[in-house]
Amino acid sequence: MGPITSVAIFLTIWWTVLFAVLPLGVRSYHEMGIEPPPGADPGAPVNPNLKRKFLTTTWVTAVLFTILWLVVKFQLVSLPDLPSTY
């Protein structure tokens, strides 16, 4: 697996994990029983903790990518040879 492919796969996994992590622990103004500021949606999160979620997403992605890289490196799963169009 080349470096460009590795970066592309890492970013794809990161983006997917981000969408899985974003809803965790989010409480809205309505759920908390707090009156939202003027013009705010009652369903908006009180404190989304984005920095923490980005860090969590990054370490989870690093673990998943390492597992994937090891599987590919040591050929634990055999992938079929794809025909080339050259």
Q: Is residue 35 part of a domain?
A: yes
Which residue is listed with tokens 């796969």?
A: 9
pLDDT tens track for 2-50: 899 999 999 999 999 999 999 999 999 999 999 999 999 999 999 999 9
Please indicate, yes or no, if residue 84 is contained in any of the structural domains: no
Q: The pTM is what?
A: 0.82
Any domain includes 83: no
> What DSSP designation does 46 have?
S
Residue 30 lies in a domain: yes
Q: Tell me the residue range of the domain where 37 lies.
A: 3-74
Query: How many domains, in total, are found in the chain?
Result: 1
Structural domain includes residue 86: no
Q: What are 46-71's pLDDT values in tens digits?
A: 999 999 999 999 999 999 999 999 98
For residues 22 and 40, what is the distance between their CA atoms, to the nearest angstrom? 20
The 10 Å Cβ neighbour count of residue 44 is 13
**Residue 66 placed within a domain:** yes
